[in-house]
């Protein structure tokens, strides 16, 4: 019984997290469009503009891109070449999947670790980008995104592990 | 020796379906490790995404394209082109080419054109008396027609990468937009002539031009007709920078489709926004990590060495361009267009410049070849999408696409060997 109740709970947590993530992504995009359009109006009508807006918009591009990449990792929907994949025997697919996903997860873990070092250095430097916002805050999305992608690919490979054992009679 | 083993492993992993960003990231890591550079440099390189102002155009045009693809723009576009052009000989085929080219320019060649427009045009072509195989080949080919017209995303991405390379000559997005016009038009014209020739003994329906239908189609599409003028006129009239044109387009499309046509409900909007940004995320991640690997490639002087090797065997520009065409055709069939641009341009561009190829011209050659890659058997993406969408065996699509492929190959040869076609509007 407890097992049955347990599962919907993790599912619920996951769907809440997905919603928050989606919300952030949509919010960032709306902010980006809003700021960019405001900037056009200010420049053309009043010959002025918000000084930090251009920098913020550029950082939003980075954030939108990386959060988008995080969402893409949910189902492993990253751009890849799938020529050989099509011709693999059915039994080999989960095994190949595990190799591919573990490799991706590992690479992202390394990237997350070294990006974190970079952000730490920036934190110690204490530089600001615009309107008192420290640079390290804007950069922190890089290690965060790599870490999330790594976790998701670890989870995908775990799913494949379970599938292999489920296939065994 | 170990380098070759690593390279082999990575290539195998890539072919087995490893996300390309992870493969490129691994290359960059290995490279920097050998150069004794701290791997933290990867974060610095990824952060360069935020140092590239024009990159803003990418998410905004993508979003606009997704909105257009989700609304009934495809219906209005087909109706309007049909009302205006159906009286011409070969009318409906030409209608199909033009409508698809427009639609692809705005939505990207992600298969949306085949799904949205092909589904309207294929039955219409059959009904008008075109043969099944011809019609099938036509809609499959049209799925990537229009890549060379602004504001297509591959043009933007190529310009951004070329700018990052600092190759001397300036490669502005607005230059590429202009450069793609005539080559794109050449493709449409050649394909139109071919469909006239192909159907010369085939009595196809030719309805008369109806002023009333044209008027009503115009009225229906009145909010969307300004879009191309918006983009081109805004940029070349000096009103907008490219990224501003993208912002204006995104906002305009959002307002028109959601509040005026009311074809996208507010509750559906977040999902469309998310999906469009997932695509952008995939591209930007690859772009970010390839900034790192490119930096390593340049540090290790790979393009210069490559040029030396090629130069030793190939002395003429013409032969180089032929080899380039062959390489790009193969790449186009196996790699998706965005990864192909991000991975190959940093390697090919410096070499091509050494052979005296203009960087803007190279961009047009690159994309024109990639466009054919979409319909190249056995793995061109459009073939699979059309096979799935129209429920036809893939072999039938191979046969249907080949004549169109040959026509496009002729276009690519002309584009490659007549640089003026691409460069005539630029002050060069």
pLDDT in tens, B346-371: 889 988 988 889 999 999 999 999 99
The pLDDT tens digits of the residues spanning B92-119 come to 888 889 889 988 888 876 677 888 888 8
Dist CA B373 CA B335 (whole Å): 9
The pLDDT tens digits of the residues spanning B215-254 come to 888 888 889 888 888 788 888 887 888 888 899 899 999 9
Mean pLDDT (chain A, rounded): 87
Q: Which of A157-166, B26-35, B82-91, B125-134 has the lowest mean pLDDT?
A: B82-91
Q: Of B59, B270, B335, which is closest to A64 when you measure between CB atoms?
A: B59
The pLDDT of residue B325 is 92
Cβ–Cβ contact B42 with A under 8 A: yes
Contacts of B334 in chain A (CB under 8 A): 81, 83
Cβ–Cβ contact A71 with B under 8 A: yes
The nearest alpha carbon in chain A to B339 belongs to: A79
The pLDDT of residue B138 is 92
- Cβ-in-10-Å burial (0-12, 13-18, 19+) of B267 comes to exposed
Dist CA B173 CA B61 (whole Å): 13
Tokens, residue A28 = 């960032």
Cβ–Cβ contact A141 with B under 8 A: no
Phi-psi region of B71 (alpha: psi -120 to 50; beta: other; left: phi over 0): beta
CB within 8 Å: B284 and A70: no
How many residue pairs from chains A and B have C-beta atoms closer than 8 A?
Answer: 191
CB within 8 Å: B56 and A36: yes
Q: If we measure between CA atoms, which residue out of B319, B315, B403, B306 comes closest to residue B349?
A: B306
The pLDDT of residue A2 is 45
pLDDT of B207 > 60? The answer is yes
Rounded to 5 degrees, what are φ and ψ at A8? -55, -30
Dist CA B48 CA A139 (whole Å): 11
The pLDDT of residue A1 is 41
CB within 8 Å: A79 and B20: yes
The pLDDT of residue A167 is 64
Q: How confident is the model at residue A132 (pLDDT cuts 50, 70, 90)?
A: confident
Q: Which of A117-121, A157-161, B87-91 has the lowest mean pLDDT?
A: B87-91
The pLDDT of residue B110 is 67
User: Do B108 and B367 meet the contact criterion of CB atoms below 8 Å apart?
Assistant: no
Contacts of B55 in chain A (CB under 8 A): 58, 61
Q: How confident is the model at residue A163 (pLDDT cuts 50, 70, 90)?
A: confident
Q: Of B16, B26, B250, which is closest to A84 when you measure between CB atoms?
A: B16
Cβ–Cβ contact A92 with B under 8 A: no
**Measured between alpha carbons, how far apart are the two ends of chain A, in Å?**
25
pLDDT of B296 > 90? The answer is no
The nearest alpha carbon in chain A to B12 belongs to: A84
Residue B237 or residue B398, greater confidence:
B398
Contacts of B381 in chain A (CB under 8 A): none
The pLDDT of residue A50 is 76
The pLDDT of residue A7 is 65
Average pLDDT over residues B386-413: 91
CB within 8 Å: B22 and A70: no
CB within 8 Å: A80 and B278: no
Average pLDDT over residues B133-141: 92
Average pLDDT over residues A100-127: 92
Measured CA to CA in angstroms, residue A120 lies from A70, A125, B37, B426 at distances of: 22, 9, 18, 46
Contacts of B274 in chain A (CB under 8 A): 22, 25-26, 71
The pLDDT of residue A6 is 57
CB within 8 Å: B277 and A71: yes
Cβ–Cβ contact A78 with B under 8 A: yes
Residue B31 or residue A127, greater confidence:
B31
H/E run at residue A30:
helix A2-46
Contacts of A78 in chain B (CB under 8 A): 19-22, 282, 285
Cis peptide upstream of residue B258 (ω within 30 degrees of 0): no
- Mention every residue, 6+ apart, whose C-beta is less than 8 A from residue A69: A78, A145, A149, B21, B281, B282, B284, B285
Contacts of A52 in chain B (CB under 8 A): none
Helical segments of B143-172, H only: 153-165
The pLDDT of residue B37 is 87
Q: How confident is the model at residue B381 (pLDDT cuts 50, 70, 90)?
A: confident
Q: Which of A50-54, B48-52, B408-412 has the lowest mean pLDDT?
A: A50-54
Tally of CA atoms within 13 A in the half-sphere of B289 that contains its CB: 30
The pLDDT tens digits of the residues spanning B158-195 come to 998 898 877 667 788 889 999 999 999 999 999 999 98
Average pLDDT over residues A156-163: 88
User: Do B372 and B49 meet the contact criterion of CB atoms below 8 Å apart?
Assistant: no
Average pLDDT over residues A119-127: 87
- Cβ-in-10-Å burial (0-12, 13-18, 19+) of B312 comes to exposed
Cβ–Cβ contact B25 with A under 8 A: yes
Cβ–Cβ contact A118 with B under 8 A: yes
Contacts of B52 in chain A (CB under 8 A): 58
The pLDDT of residue A168 is 62
Dist CA B271 CA B267 (whole Å): 8
Residue recorded with tokens 């420290």? A134
The pLDDT of residue A5 is 52
Q: Of B18, B39, B47, which is closest to A103 when you measure between CB atoms?
A: B18
Average pLDDT over residues A30-40: 92
The pLDDT tens digits of the residues spanning A8-34 come to 888 888 899 999 999 999 999 999 999
Q: Torsion angle, CA of B39/B42/B43/B48, rounded to 10 degrees?
A: 150
The nearest alpha carbon in chain A to B40 belongs to: A114
Tally of CA atoms within 13 A in the half-sphere of B53 that contains its CB: 9
Contacts of B18 in chain A (CB under 8 A): 80, 100, 103-104
Cis peptide upstream of residue B273 (ω within 30 degrees of 0): no
Tokens, residue B21 = 């960003």
- Residues above pLDDT 90, as percent of chain B: 31
Dist CA B376 CA B113 (whole Å): 17
Dist CA B189 CA A111 (whole Å): 48
CB within 8 Å: A58 and B279: no
Residue recorded with tokens 């190799």? A99
């Amino acid at each position: 019984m407890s097992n049955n109740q347990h599962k919907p709970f993790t599912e619920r947590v996951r769907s809440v997290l997905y919603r928050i993530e989606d919300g952030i992504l949509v919010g960032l995009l709306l902010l980006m469009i809003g700021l960019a359009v405001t900037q056009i109006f200010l420049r053309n009508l009043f010959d002025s503009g918000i000084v930090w807006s251009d920098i913020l918009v550029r950082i939003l591009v980075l954030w939108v891109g990386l959060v988008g990449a995080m969402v893409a990792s949910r189902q492993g929907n990253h751009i890849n070449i799938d020529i050989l994949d099509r011709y693999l025997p059915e039994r080999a697919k989960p095994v190949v999947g595990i190799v591919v996903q573990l490799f991706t997860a590992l690479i992202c873990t390394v990237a997350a670790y070294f990006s974190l070092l970079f952000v730490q250095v920036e934190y110690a430097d204490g530089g600001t980008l615009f309107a008192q916002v420290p640079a390290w805050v804007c950069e922190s999305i890089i290690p965060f995104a790599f870490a999330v992608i790594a976790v998701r690919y670890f989870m995908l490979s775990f799913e494949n592990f379970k599938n292999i054992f489920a296939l065994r009679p | 020796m170990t380098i070759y083993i690593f390279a082999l492993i990575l290539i195998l992993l890539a072919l087995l379906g490893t996300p390309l960003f992870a493969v490129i990231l691994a290359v960059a890591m290995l490279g920097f490790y050998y150069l004794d550079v701290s791997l933290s440099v990867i974060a610095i390189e990824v952060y360069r995404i935020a140092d590239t102002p024009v990159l803003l155009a990418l998410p905004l045009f993508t979003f606009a394209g997704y909105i257009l693809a989700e609304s009934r723009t495809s219906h209005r576009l087909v109706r309007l082109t049909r009302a205006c052009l159906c009286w011409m000989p070969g009318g409906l085929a030409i209608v199909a080419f033009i409508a698809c080219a427009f639609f692809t320019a705005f939505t990207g060649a992600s298969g949306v054109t085949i799904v949205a427009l092909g589904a309207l045009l294929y039955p219409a072509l059959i009904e008008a008396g075109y043969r099944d195989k011809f019609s099938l080949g036509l809609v499959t080919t049209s799925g990537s027609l229009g890549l060379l017209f602004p504001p297509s995303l591959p043009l933007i991405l190529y310009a951004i990468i070329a700018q990052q390379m600092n190759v001397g000559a300036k490669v502005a997005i607005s230059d590429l937009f202009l450069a793609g016009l005539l080559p794109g038009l050449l493709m449409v014209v050649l394909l139109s002539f071919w469909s006239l020739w192909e159907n010369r003994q085939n009595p196809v329906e030719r309805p008369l031009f109806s002023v009333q239908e044209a008027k009503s189609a115009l009225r229906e599409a009145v909010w969307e007709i300004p879009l191309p003028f918006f983009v081109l006129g805004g940029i070349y009239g000096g009103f907008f920078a490219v990224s501003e044109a993208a912002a204006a387009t995104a906002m305009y499309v959002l307002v028109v489709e959601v509040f005026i046509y009311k074809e996208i409900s507010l509750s559906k909007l977040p999902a469309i926004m998310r999906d469009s940004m997932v695509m952008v995320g995939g591209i930007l991640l690859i772009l970010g990590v390839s900034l790192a690997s490119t930096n390593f490639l340049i540090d290790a002087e790979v393009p210069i060495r490559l040029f030396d090797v090629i130069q030793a065997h190939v002395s003429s520009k013409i032969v180089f361009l032929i080899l380039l065409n062959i390489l790009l055709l193969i790449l186009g069939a196996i790699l998706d267009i965005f990864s192909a641009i991000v991975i190959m341009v940093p390697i090919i561009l410096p070499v091509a410049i050494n052979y005296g190829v203009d960087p803007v011209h190279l961009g047009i050659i690159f994309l024109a070849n990639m466009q054919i890659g979409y319909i190249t058997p056995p793995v061109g993406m459009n073939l699979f999408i059309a096979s799935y969408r129209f429920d036809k065996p893939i072999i039938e699509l191979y046969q249907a696409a080949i004549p169109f492929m040959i026509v496009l190959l002729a276009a690519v040869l002309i584009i490659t060997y007549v640089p003026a076609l691409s460069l005539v509007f630029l002050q060069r």
